[in-house]
Amino acid sequence: MNTPAIREQFPILHRNSQSGMPLIYLDSAATSQKPNVVIDAMQAYYRHHNANIHRGIHTLAEEATSLYESARETSAQFIGASSPDEIIFTRNTTEALNLVAQAWGGKHLNAGDLVILTEMAHHANLVPWQMLAERKSLRLEFIPFDEQGTLDLAEYARLLEQSPKVVSFTHISNVLGTHNPAEHIIAQAKSVGAVTVLDAAQSVAQLPINVQALGVDFMAFSAHKMCGPTGIGVLYGKAERLAETPPLLGGGGMIRRVRLRSFETADVPARFEAGTPAIAEAIGMAAAMRFLAQIGMEEIHQHEQALVRYAWEKLSEVPSLRLLGPAADSRGGLATFIMEEIHAHDLAQELDRFGIAVRAGHHCTMPLHNKLGIAASVRASFYLYNTFEEIDHLVLALFKAREWLG
């Protein structure tokens, strides 16, 4: 990829950090930066087309509706869905997973039913199932991960013998970086009749994904991790799964007919999009998808893989630094680590003095950190705009931080 040309399209990458150092942004797993085309698309909507959608018959309303529904079509194409009607706009990955658990699971799961999750689950794919389990007396079991940070598929096979109703897992761990074998996990779940749910918050930004090839029932992701705006995400659902799912929210936009004591829901996807949606954000997300598709998702993936292999090699040279998760060839575009005798927050704050933005904490994976026996970790995550020179600066700053703080 022509990384210098790509970087020119991200205005924030040309500013300095608060310390006065040039910004080195290594926190894209938390949220990515936004290119001009996304910013411009959202501004154009507000400047020229701002109106509410679907119910107005004036020019602005028709233009806004067309842009919004075009964003749905772009989203379907981006992930290989068979129809735009399989795309539900949500606020984020978290809301999408809650919709599956509380709406689909609330209707179709009963006391004693088994839901299989993983020990590396983000809280967004853990807490909603815990809430439902408490409400409906479900069983939760977990696929463990081993010392290399990979899922124990032998244990998964044993859990499948218990006839689970749902298997819900992350495609790429936001901490360990583990690239889980989604095709295998989904195929095995389908063989015992389980419904599959994929947390693709990290992977959709990094990999070319085709939901029909995966065979997954539900998949959730957010725009803000893939160069799009905050405040909007996507729930993909197979048509037959969405048809059997009741709405989660009630109000305007999700109804066909309302009487004083009853109502009829609208068809999918409107059934799940109550109230005024994030119109400008949907338009911005579509612009981000077109931007990424023009570069090429496979090219982006290869660039990230080259960065993470280089980072893994260089970070391994830092004394007392321990990298978490599998080797570089089996992971997504991030490197998470701890440094002996230096708290993750102190280390991240020291890196910020060098203009380097990383994430420190438990990264919404407390059970994962508890299993590893650590309270927090530091995560450096890479994206299409990052360079090998930025990794060199990170490693140099870690050597200096260790000298000053160690």
Catalytic residues: 364
- The 3-state secondary structure of 311-364 reads HHHHHCCCCCEEEECCCHHHECCEEEEEECCECHHHHHHHHHHCCEECEEECCC
The Cα–Cα gap between 42 and 52 comes to 15
Residue 127 backbone dihedrals phi, psi, to 5 degrees: -60, -45
Residue from 8, 70, 73, 13 nearest 41 by CA: 70
CB count in 10 Å sphere of residue 307: 26
Token look-up 């007919």 returns: 257
Indicate the pairing of strand 114-118 with strand 87-90.
Answer: unpaired
- Judge whether 178 and 145 are in contact, CB under 8 Å: yes
Residue from 28, 196, 201, 204 nearest 100 by CA: 196
- Judge whether 169 and 198 are in contact, CB under 8 Å: yes
What SS3 state is found at 109? coil
The runs of H, that is alpha helices, within 161-232 are 182-191, 203-206, 211-214
The Cα–Cα gap between 319 and 398 comes to 10
The Cα–Cα gap between 31 and 26 comes to 10
The token duo for 382 is: 């890479």
